[in-house]
Amino acid sequence: MTYGERFEEALRYAARLHRAQLRKGTNIPYVTHLLAVAAIVGENGGTEDEVIAALLHDAVASIVEGTSDTDVVPKPPWPERKQNYVAHLRDASRSVRLVSAADKLHNARSILADLRAEGEAAWRRFNAGKEDQIWYYRALVDAFREAGGANELVDELERVVEEIAETAA
pLDDT in tens, the chain (169 residues): 889 999 999 999 999 999 999 988 889 999 999 999 999 999 999 999 999 999 998 877 545 555 666 566 677 788 888 998 999 999 999 999 999 999 999 999 999 999 999 999 999 888 888 999 999 999 999 999 999 866 999 999 999 999 999 998 8
SS3 sequence, the chain?
CCCCHHHHHHHHHHHHHCCCCECCCCCCEHHHHHHHHHHHHHHCCCCHHHHHHHHCCCCCCHHHHCCCCCCCCCCCCHHHHHHHHHHHHCCCCHHHHHHHHHHHHHHHHHHHHHHHHHHHHHHHHCCCCHHHHHHHHHHHHHHHHHHHCCCHHHHHHHHHHHHHHHHHC
Question: What integer pLDDT is reported at residue 70 of this predicted model?
Answer: 58
C-alpha separations of 152 from 52, 94, 140 in Å: 21, 14, 15
Provide the sign of the torsion angle of the four alpha carbons 96, 48, 61, 76, taken in this order.
positive
Nearest to 157 by CA among 88, 110, 109: 109
Task: Name the pTM for this structure.
Answer: 0.87
Backbone angles phi, psi at 46, to 5 degrees: -65, 145
Say how many domains are in the chain: 1
Per the structure, the complete domain to which residue 81 belongs is given by 5-168
Cβ-based burial of 14 (10 A; exposed 0-12, middle 13-18, buried ≥19): buried
Which of 76, 101, 114 has its CA nearest to residue 153?
101
pLDDT at position 75: 73
- Report the candidate in 106, 86, 89, 91 with the shortest Cα–Cα distance to residue 42: 106
pLDDT at 165 (0 to 100): 96
* pLDDT for 62: 44
Provide the CATH number for the domain around residue 141. 1.10.3210.10
Q: Cis (ω within 30 of 0) for the bond into 79? A: no
pLDDT at 26: 86
